[in-house]
Amino acid sequence: MNIIFWGTPDYSVESLKILIDSHHEISAVITQPDKKRSRGSKLIASPIKKIALNHNIPVFTPNKIKNNISLIENLKSFKSDVFVVIAYGKILSSEILNIPRYGCWNAHASLLPRWRGAAPIHWSLLKGDSFTGVGIIKMDEGLDTGDLLLEEKVGIKESDNLHTLSQKLSILSSNLIYKSLEIIEKKPKAIKSKLSPQKLKDIEVKYARMINKEDYKLDFNDRAENILRKVKGLFPKSYIIHSGKVLKILNIRLLSESEKKKIDKTYAKRNINNIGKVLEIFKNEGVVIATKTEPILIKEIKLEGKNISKGNQLIQQLNLNKGEKI
């Protein structure tokens, strides 16, 4: 089939690759404009743009898509069978949705209708979900409200963070979008009969709003469980300010009951004055910090201007004593 691919971040890469390697034809790629992603003024192309250019696929990077007559005319000229949309980053208008012969198809990284919106993987971790998945939907004008063609469930492991879970779901998205296109190609006129509405009665509708800068800052006045979820769900960007510098917290865990008994009784008593203080230092592991509820062990960090550190290197870098605030 003749496909136009819409995508921007690393998450979209596996899907574009599998389609490039298939018998389908990728006639064009639409992605977000080049952006400044680091210090300096150099513009950086999106991961999807880099791959498309490496395969000599025409790339469009419109600053806006709403009421963009030139873009719409270009899209129509390709006479596409389908548009495949994987984490493009903007909502498509009804005029665009109606261009391809067999519709626009999106791989969404949640079990819809839970976590409709921009950051479903983040929020599945931030809210402590035990499972998530990917659904292939035929796009309509709503925000991730389309009917489902395929869906697959994935368990969220205790060790998962935003990076590991995104990798798993990216691969799953690529496999499911490929299977979906095979189904569409085989019987395009019968595809409507294979669609299922989202299970609004069985699954609560939740919206995964975009993550903002304020979300990344950790607060030890929060519950330990929430801090743990935040470190996982916003990996590797959650942080505190330590000695005037940004200290990114990359890995933490809760303490076992036997470990809690090792904490000096002077600092172990739960009270508001201990929050944010070092309760204990575990050799070769890290530092134990008091929170609103129970202690957490900080295992891996990145201090501004320094490399990632853990274990004894972390302990030396922080240079904290018991009873001091981090």
Q: What is the DSSP string of 196-228?
A: B---TTTS---EEPPP-GGGGB--TTS-HHHHH
171 by Cβ neighbours in 10 Å (0-12 / 13-18 / 19+) ranks as middle
Average pLDDT over residues 314-321: 95
* CATH assignment, 220-318: 3.10.25.10
Q: Residues 6 or more apart from 312 whose CB is under 8 A from it?
A: 283, 284
Cα Rg of the chain, angstroms: 23
What integer pLDDT is reported at residue 260 of this predicted model? 87
Measure the CA–CA gap between 33 and 319, rounded to whole angstroms: 43
Mean pLDDT, the chain, rounded, equals 94
pTM of the model: 0.94
Q: What pLDDT shows up at residue 42?
A: 85
Say what the pLDDT of residue 309 is: 98
Q: Per residue in 190-224, is it b (16+ CB within 10 Å) or e — as a string?
A: ebeeeeeebeeeeeeebebeebeeebeebebebeb
At 268 the pLDDT is 57
DSSP 147: P
Residue 202: band (very low, low, confident or very high) from pLDDT cuts 50, 70, 90 = confident
pLDDT of residue 193: 94
pLDDT of 323 higher than 80: yes
Do residues 218 and 231 lie in contact, with contact meaning Cβ atoms separated by under 8 Å? yes
Decide the pairing of beta strands 25-30 and 59-60.
parallel
Q: What is the pLDDT of residues 97-135, one digit of tens each?
A: 999 999 999 999 999 999 999 999 999 999 999 999 999
Give the pair of three-digit tokens for residue 271.
């009270």
Is 59:36 a contact under the CB 8 Å cutoff? Answer: no
Q: Give CA–CA dist 255/275, Å, rounded.
A: 16
Return the pLDDT at 261. 84
Whether 271 has a pLDDT exceeding 80, the answer reads no
pLDDT digits (tens, 9 = 90+) for 246-268: 999 999 999 998 898 888 665 55
Those residues with Cβ within 8 angstroms of residue 254's Cβ, 6 or more apart along the chain or in another chain: 224, 225, 228, 294, 295, 296, 297
Mean pLDDT on 184-199:
93
Domain 2-208 bears CATH identifier 3.40.50.170 = yes
Question: Is residue 270 very low, low, confident or very high in pLDDT (cuts 50, 70, 90)?
Answer: low
Q: Measured at the alpha carbon of residue 168, what is the angle toward residues 222 and 184, in degrees to the nearest 5?
A: 125
